[in-house]
Amino acid sequence: MGENLKKDELDRAYNNSLAVANSNQIIETWMKTSSQVRGKIAGELDIGYGAHPRQSYDYFSAGDSSPVIVYIHGGWWQARSKDDFTFIVPPLLDLGFSVAMLGYRLAPDATIDQIVSDVRTGLSAIEVKIQCERGSFPGFHLLGWSAGAHLVTSVLNESNVKDGLCISGVYDLEPIRHCYVNDKLQLNREISLANSPIIKTNHFGKRIDLFVGSAELPQMQEQTIKFYDYRKTNAQSGDFQVLNSFNHYTIFDEVVRVDGAIYKSLKKRALG
């Protein structure tokens, strides 16, 4: 995937911010709206599951009988925060989900293996919290975007996870190893292959719905298409949709709008 591209070509092929002229404004809107949501909606913020401040999660309850969804943010494993995405919480609550927004350490302070480990540890901590409060545990639905989608597929074999929904994800780390993203991530071939879901089976046996925008960079689209083909070839369940005209950032419109394709997919999970 992108094997014949030179480094400068791969740099452009995976630079989503550069590809979307108003990406900074979109992200600023996310952050502003997210801050407003945290000020208005009752939730437990920054619950620690480790010593580092980023090893924490926010929890918004929809009641003791509700399904639980965990959102894992993107940012090339080296940027962004759970706090930037609280704007998706209200529509998820409207669907009847309790919502956990999971943070994790970032590169270069953490390796990809440590980041995946953080997600696993965070899920265990959230499970313990819910079990203690409810006396039962319904299992997690996982939702991830970009690098967060990679993390969803990397931890799907956890026994507390029911299924996953992945948006604009990265499932083959080999091209990432050869572009600017690796300046902080510091992947070598062995680590890259060990953490590439497209050649792994730990996500088998559980449903994954995959989404990508038609206005995304070709290499980003190819990541999702090839991952879907890999799973389909191995008889794994899940839908795949290329969402017309959406780019790497505007695709969140399909999460928050009641007529959005991703919202509808989430609704099916909420209804059981």
Q: Looking at this protein, which amino acid is placed at residue 7? A: K
Q: Sign of the CA dihedral 184, 194, 124, 163? A: positive
Q: Looking at this protein, which amino acid is placed at residue 26? A: I
Q: Tell me how far apart the alpha carbons of residues 161 and 38 are, in angstroms, rounded to a whole number.
A: 26
Give residue-wise pLDDT tens across range 20-59. 999 999 999 999 999 999 999 999 999 999 999 999 999 9
Tens-digit pLDDT string for the chain (272 aa): 555 788 999 999 999 999 999 999 999 999 999 999 999 999 999 999 999 999 999 999 999 999 999 999 999 999 999 999 999 999 999 999 999 999 999 999 999 999 999 999 999 999 999 999 999 999 999 999 999 999 999 999 999 999 999 999 999 999 999 999 999 999 999 999 999 999 999 999 999 999 999 999 999 999 999 999 999 999 999 999 999 999 999 999 999 999 999 999 999 999 98
Burial of 258 (0-12, 13-18, 19+ CB in 10 A): exposed
Q: What is the pTM of this model?
A: 0.97
**Superfamily of domain 7-270, CATH level 4:** Alpha/Beta hydrolase fold, catalytic domain (3.40.50.1820)
Give residue-wise pLDDT tens across range 155-164. 999 999 999 9
Partners of residue 102 on adjacent β-strands: 57, 72
Output the DSSP codes for 200-268.
Answer: --TTTTS-EEEEEETTS-HHHHHHHHHHHHHHHHTT----EEEETT--TTGGGHHHHSTT-HHHHHHHH
